[in-house]
């Protein structure tokens, strides 16, 4: 039986201004399981940060409750909460002259005595956190003199040193390049497994989340939150709730978001990945209709159309344009 450190029951969340209530999310039910990385996805403004605030005990629900280790989160003191919940927020203020080691040591604050002095156990926890995030070599570097990806890993190391059972990260990969985004998400997934932590990551990176997350929570305006295995949500088509309108869809075959070509009239034969590339190029160049079969083959790549051979997609598109298509 899986253990859930965080449970939400019948939550309705929102904000109160003067005496009027603005309800943002209704009827939320969820469990954040230990040893799993869950990604929270949804369009801008749907209420992801609002839900995170409720999970962190910073926003009182209109109705329902959040349980942390089986106890209402509202019954935890700030100190007790800091021992259970580690948070990595977007763009925190970090003094540039602080070293990575000092930042990670800050994660131990909830555990130190009033003197603030780090014990042997605290120092060990800091070293372990640096090691788990593979940044021991950065310990003495200043935050102002390392890359964004390295700084993000340092923030994760600080959260790890805090040693809460639950880690909540709000867009930890924002502003990072593709490789760093993959690396951070893989790292978080690895930590969830090796340290049996319940990790919640707010992200807009659908494709990387699909590769790395154990569970998805999908928020969409006006519909109930969807919780499930990413793979099941792809198979059921529920993943498409993240792709509003009909311009895009999620392709099961290719495991990625694709343009929907319903308005395009092409008859193309060949390997699906090559067909997709040719369709993309035709669509971008404004060609919507070709009346004969387009045959695409690889090794060597060529396109045959009305008995004419084209050796690249560019050559084909130019050829079609010159025919006035
Ligand atoms: N303090 C606040 N007072 C009143 N309304 C708020 C407050 N904070 C957020 N909102 C509103 O709640 C809604 C959800 O905002 P929230 O920040 O939770 O969305 P989000 O999904 O995290 O968006 P994003 O992806 O852009 O970060 C928005 O309509 C927003 O205007």
C-alpha 139 – ligand 1 centre gap (Å)? 36
At 264 the pLDDT is: 65
- Under-50 pLDDT residues of the chain: none
The answer to whether residue 262 sits within a structural domain is no
Long-range CB contacts for residues 143-149, cutoff 8 Å, separation at least 24: 143/94, 143/95, 143/96, 143/97, 143/98, 143/99, 143/100, 143/103, 144/95, 144/96, 144/97, 145/96, 146/100, 148/175, 148/176, 148/180, 149/176, 149/177, 149/180, 149/183, 149/184
What angle do the packed helices 148-162 and 120-132 form, to 10 degrees?
Answer: 140
Cα–Cα distance, 59 to 237 (Å, whole number): 32
314 neighbors 303 (Cβ within 8 angstroms): no
The answer to whether residue 261 sits within a structural domain is no
Cα–Cα distance, 287 to 159 (Å, whole number): 51
In degrees and rounded to multiples of 5, residue 302 shows phi and psi of -155, 155
Whether residues 106 and 213 fall in one domain: yes
CATH code for the domain of 111: 3.40.50.300
At 311 the pLDDT is: 94
At 212 the pLDDT is: 94
C-alpha 14 – ligand 1 centre gap (Å)? 9
In Å, how far from its chain's centre is CA 209? 5
Integer CA distances (angstroms), 298 to 43, 114, 271, 305, 313, in order? 38, 69, 8, 15, 12
At 2 the pLDDT is: 76
What is the count of structural domains for the chain? 2
Whether residues 170 and 300 fall in one domain: no
Whether residues 313 and 231 fall in one domain: no
At 243 the pLDDT is: 81
At 266 the pLDDT is: 81
At 262 the pLDDT is: 63
At 303 the pLDDT is: 94
Whether residues 251 and 289 fall in one domain: no
In degrees and rounded to multiples of 5, residue 100 shows phi and psi of -60, -45
| Closest C-alpha residue for ligand 1 atom 29 | 45
Whether residues 149 and 40 fall in one domain: yes
In degrees and rounded to multiples of 5, residue 125 shows phi and psi of -60, -40
Whether residues 124 and 53 fall in one domain: yes
pLDDT one-digit tens code per residue, 267-280:
899 998 898 889 88
Whether residues 251 and 273 fall in one domain: no
C-alpha 44 – ligand 1 centre gap (Å)? 8
The answer to whether residue 305 sits within a structural domain is yes
C-alpha 49 – ligand 1 centre gap (Å)? 7
At 170 the pLDDT is: 92
Whether residues 79 and 196 fall in one domain: yes
| Closest C-alpha residue for ligand 1 atom 26 | 44
Q: Residue 140 is part of which domain span?
A: 4-256
Centre a 10 Å sphere on the Cβ of residue 81 and count the other Cβ atoms it contains.
19
48 neighbors 40 (Cβ within 8 angstroms): yes
| Closest C-alpha residue for ligand 1 atom 28 | 45
> In 3-state terms, what secondary structure has residue 28?
strand
Whether residues 147 and 286 fall in one domain: no
Complex ipTM > 0.95? yes
Among the listed residues 178, 205, 171, the one whose alpha carbon sits nearest the alpha carbon of residue 88: 171
The answer to whether residue 263 sits within a structural domain is no
**Residue ending a domain, choose from 203, 222, 256:** 256
The answer to whether residue 128 sits within a structural domain is yes
């Amino acid at each position: 039986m899986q253990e859930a450190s965080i449970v939400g029951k019948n939550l309705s969340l929102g904000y109160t201004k003067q005496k009027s209530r603005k309800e943002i999310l209704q009827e939320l039910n969820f469990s954040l399981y230990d040893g799993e990385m869950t990604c929270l996805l949804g369009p801008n403004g749907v209420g992801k940060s609002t839900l995170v605030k409720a999970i962190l005990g910073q926003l009182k629900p209109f109705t329902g409750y959040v349980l942390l280790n089986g106890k209402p989160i509202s019954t935890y003191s700030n100190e007790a909460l800091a021992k259970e919940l580690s948070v990595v927020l977007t763009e925190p203020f970090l003094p540039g002259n602080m070293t990575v080691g000092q930042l990670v040591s800050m994660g131990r604050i909830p555990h130190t005595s009033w003197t603030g002095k780090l014990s042997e156990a605290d120092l060990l926890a800091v070293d372990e956190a640096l090691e788990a995030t593979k940044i021991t070599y950065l310990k003495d570097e200043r935050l102002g003199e390392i890359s964004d990806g390295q700084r993000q890993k340092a923030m994760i190391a600080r959260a790890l040193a805090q040693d809460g059972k639950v880690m909540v990260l709000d867009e930890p990969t924002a502003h990072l390049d593709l490789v760093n985004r993959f690396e951070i998400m893989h790292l978080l997934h690895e930590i969830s497994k090796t340290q049996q932590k319940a990790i919640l990551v707010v992200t807009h990176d659908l494709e990387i989340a699909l590769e790395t997350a154990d569970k998805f929570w999908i928020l969409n305006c006006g519909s109930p939150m969807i919780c499930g295995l990413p793979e099941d949500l792809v198979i059921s088509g529920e993943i498409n709730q993240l792709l509003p309108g009909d311009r895009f869809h999620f392709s099961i075959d290719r495991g990625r978001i694709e343009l929907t070509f319903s308005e395009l009239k092409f008859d193309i034969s060949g390997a699906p990945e090559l067909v997709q590339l040719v369709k993309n190029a035709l669509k971008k160049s404004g060609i919507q209709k070709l009346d004969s079969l387009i045959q695409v083959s690889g090794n060597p790549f060529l396109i045959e159309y009305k008995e004419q051979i084209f050796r690249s997609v560019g050559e084909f598109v130019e050829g079609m344009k010159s025919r006035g298509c």
